[in-house]
Amino acid sequence: MSSHIRIGTRSSALALWQARWVQTMLTSIGLKSELIPIQSSGDQQKQQPLYELGVQGIFTKELDTALLDNTVDIAVHSMKDVPTQLPKGIVAAFVPKRGAWQDVFIPNTTDWTSENSVVATSSLRRAAQWRYKYPSHSIVDIRGNVPTRLKKLSESNYDGTIMAMAGLSRLEMLPQNSVVLDWMVPAPAQGAILVTGLAENQKLLSTLKKLNHEETARCVDEERLFLRILEGGCTAPIGAHAQIVENNMHFKGCITQKDGGKQLVFDDVFPLNTKNIGQVAAEQLLAKGAKEILDA
């Protein structure tokens, strides 16, 4: 194992923040490291809505390639962007403690709940859930990293936008007037970071394992299992959130029709030792017609 770890990261402000945080964690266990910024396809293709690009792993594949080419030793991802099936030869190294998992609404006007409001988001999940709650509102696409989207909002006539609270908080850019959307079910693993490495690099993986936050890892595993059983990519209108309370896991998952016309929700509490909670939840929604919503 090298004493100098090369950390692969996307080049956006949020990705660099997350990579530096991981770098601090490595320092805490005596590992020296450097950041290797890599441009992703998702960062380069900013004109089309994400769901129209139709590519799973659009924010991760270049980092995967860098790992497999031995350009970097580990890669840092926003976990919600990572396909549920990792490429052959790449494994999870550790999952740090999760940040804020909620979505927030950032108003651009004072009357954003009015009947004809226009809301900006590039997320199919957020758009579908918003349409379900506010069927008279219009949705427009907005792309870019966190600072770019905030700038676009301020220069627009949109009534507001929906963003992940974690990214805004990490960059200290959460507007004071933002509204936490406690009714919106987040993307599976939203707010969590995944650090990946090569399966063959066992010595490094063994060293990094001590940085794993077990509670976060268990919750996101169930959320991603839910997503995998439903066969939805990161752009599918699927939400999931698992939370450990005392000795129980509260799991909520949903799938929403793209036009907001229909929504299926699973919401239940299980003893913590229950296995494959995400699968149980997904199979219940499939029995209620989730596949038909995905196919549409």
Residue positions annotated with a catalytic role: 81
β pairing state of 118-120 and 160-164 = parallel
Q: Where are the beta strands (DSSP E) in the chain?
A: 4-10, 32-38, 74-78, 90-94, 103-107, 118-120, 138-140, 160-164, 179-180, 193-198, 238-245, 248-256, 263-271
How far is it, in rounded angstroms, from Cα 99 to Cα 82?
Answer: 17
**Concatenated DSSP letters of 199-264:** TT-HHHHHHHGGG--HHHHHHHHHHHHHHHHHT--TTSSEEEEEEEETTEEEEEEEEE-TTSS-EE
Question: CA torsion sign, 47 to 49 to 52 to 57?
Answer: positive
* Closest-CA residue to 291 (of 242, 240, 239, 229): 229
271: helix, coil or strand?
A: strand
Radius of gyration of the chain (CA): 19
Phi, psi (deg, nearest 5) at residue 168: -65, -40
Residue that has been written with the tokens 């949903």 in this structure? 254
How far is it, in rounded angstroms, from Cα 296 to Cα 292?
Answer: 6
Which residues lie closer than 8 Å to 294 by C-beta, 6 or more apart?
230, 231, 232, 236, 255
